[in-house]
Structure 1
Amino acid sequence: MEKITFNTIHKPGHTILENDLFIHNHNPDMLLQYDSSFIAFKRMPSVQEFEKAHQYLRNFHQYYGQKHVRFYFPDDEELSGELLAILEKDDDYTVGYLELFAIHPADFPDVQEKEEIIVEYVTDETWNDYLEFQHEQDSVYGINYAEKKKDQHLRNYNDERIMQFIAFYKGKAAGSVDVIIKEYTAEIDGLMVHEDFQKKGIGRSLQKAVMDQFKDKTIILVADGDDTPKEMYRRQNYQYLGKQYNLLKIYE
């Protein structure tokens, strides 16, 4: 099995341009989704290379009516002092980082079954429940975004490489997760629990369902470096694999 890196992580869209410095990924189906239209640098750019790449991506996104630029940097490399100095002069840049985790299903802690929690993969019978739950969660980012996301959820439903799970708490849709299936890995994506059903074991039950479904694969996920859930993953025996810095700038 090849080494698991951030390149293993699924990104919707496709490659527009690849050269010695970067890969340009673009998702025409979700222009409002920052994380699927971006430049991923293969090596740390100089200030001049970054500024040139920035202008290229800005021009490309303006053509499609997109109001952001997003950049990802090589795994486990710190941003250079020269690059940070440029970024500090522009308050509109948000600097963040992601952390990559992996676990073998057998290492996931036991989960006590609760009658009030039912987790199952999405079928025609539960599709509307899943879609309504997603729409409510996606609406946090605006109705237009949520409406566009409906089409993406449907594409995922019809994609044999993706499996969608939904959790019910006392009969009400309470959580969901998508799983991107590859030869050796199953990637947990979009794990979420409704705010009304937090701290009831729903997130853990969703993960356990994934572990049970893909016992022969390595389960992987990405957590935002500033998010609390990453500490939960460590407690659940996930192994830390690496870190990746990213930049986001949104234009009004």
Structure 2
Amino acid sequence: MKITFEDIYTHGHVVIEDHLSKHYHFPEMLSRYDSNFIEFKTIPTLEEFKQAESYLRNYHLKNGQKHLKFKFPESRKIPVELVDYLNQANYDIGFLELYAIQPNQFPDLRDNPNIEIQIVSEENLEAFLNLQYQQDIVFGSNFAHQKVELNKRILKDPNIMQLLALYNGTPAGAVDVIISNETAEIDNLGVEEAFQKKGIGRRLQKFVMDTFHDKTIILVADGQDTPKEMYKRQNYQYLSYQYYCQKVEEK
């Protein structure tokens, strides 16, 4: 099976699509950049990008959104002319990397009785939501509150499993697992700063490997961040990359 960025789940709805691009919109969470963006199918010319930029700006302004975000085709670099324009227009340019692993390739872990992994249900939902809120508040209270409502909706989605990690009984980490026929996608993996370097992230991943042993496990990492090095040490295989650009316009 060939894994591509097309296999990565997007919390968003395609509101318009043509030969050049797809426009994703998520009215349930307007402040989530990864749910409200345009993804190009082919590399746009500078003029095509400017037209898409103008369209998205007007669309977002009507919805009270101040950000612009664009994703470019997988495994394609942004042409110099377009990079120059993005820099002049004060966009942040970054890239994502796609990784995959077969569950039996994940390193064995020694048992740690201090760590408990729970599937999120109505019984432990409040603890899960409180943990996520503390992690999301750095992006603003509006974002954090909207994320709470999103997590409540996710709980009812049979294709997404939410996991909560406890360290000596205290909520310490969490992850979402997006389930499809062939893959299980690790998303939103996070560990509270006070509990990092205790093996909680690895334990959450191991739970996913054991639960979905018959699927390919996939995830996306920030190409400019350090977690991707951890994934490589854990035997994940690099597959491809995707460039994006984004900015916030204060008007």
TM-score by length of 1: 0.98
Structure 1 residue corresponding to 2:200, chosen from 181, 199, 202: 202
Please show how residues 4-19 of structure 1 align to structure 2 within 5 Å. 4-19=3-18
Please show how residues 8-87 of structure 1 align to structure 2 within 5 Å. 8-87=7-86
Measure, in 2, the Cα distance between the counterparts of 1:163 and 1:212. Answer: 14
Q: Provide the residue aligned with 2:138 in structure 1.
A: 140
1:216 matched to 2:214? The reply is yes
SS at match of 2:122: coil
SS at match of 1:227: coil
Which whole-Å deviations, capped at 9, do the CAs of 1:131-175 have from their partners, x for residues lacking one? 111111111111111111111001100000100000000110000
The amino acid of 1:157's aligned partner reads L
Deviation of 1:88 after TM superposition, in Å, equals 2.4
Measure, in 2, the Cα distance between the counterparts of 1:144 and 1:244. Answer: 28
SS at match of 2:238: strand
Measure, in 2, the Cα distance between the counterparts of 1:16 and 1:124. Answer: 33
Bigger CA drift: 172-181 or 125-134? Answer: 125-134
Measure, in 1, the Cα distance between the counterparts of 2:40 and 2:6. Answer: 11
Which whole-Å deviations, capped at 9, do the CAs of 1:158-217 have from their partners, x for residues lacking one? 000100000000110000000010110000000000000010000000000000110010
The amino acid of 2:151's aligned partner reads H
Measure, in 1, the Cα distance between the counterparts of 2:219 and 2:87. Answer: 30
Measure, in 2, the Cα distance between the counterparts of 1:36 and 1:89. Answer: 25
The amino acid of 1:137's aligned partner reads Q
Gaps of 5+ in 1: none
TM-score by length of 2: 0.98
SS at match of 2:205: helix
Q: Provide the residue aligned with 1:155 in structure 2.
A: 153
The amino acid of 2:32's aligned partner reads Q
The amino acid of 1:238's aligned partner reads Y
Q: Provide the residue aligned with 1:168 in structure 2.
A: 166
Q: What is the RMSD of the two structures over their aligned residues, measured on CA atoms?
A: 0.7
Structure 2 residue corresponding to 1:121, chosen from 99, 119, 122: 119
Measure, in 2, the Cα distance between the counterparts of 1:74 and 1:93. Answer: 18
Measure, in 1, the Cα distance between the counterparts of 2:193 and 2:83. Answer: 36
Measure, in 1, the Cα distance between the counterparts of 2:157 and 2:93. Answer: 33
The amino acid of 2:211's aligned partner reads Q
Deviation of 1:22 after TM superposition, in Å, equals 0.2
Measure, in 1, the Cα distance between the counterparts of 2:87 and 2:70. Answer: 16
Measure, in 2, the Cα distance between the counterparts of 1:87 and 1:73. Answer: 13
Deviation of 1:128 after TM superposition, in Å, equals 1.1
Measure, in 1, the Cα distance between the counterparts of 2:21 and 2:33. Answer: 17
The amino acid of 2:47's aligned partner reads Q
Structure 2 residue corresponding to 1:95, chosen from 78, 93, 96: 93
SS at match of 1:29: helix
Structure 1 residue ranges (4+ consecutive) displaced by more than 3 angstroms after TM superposition: none
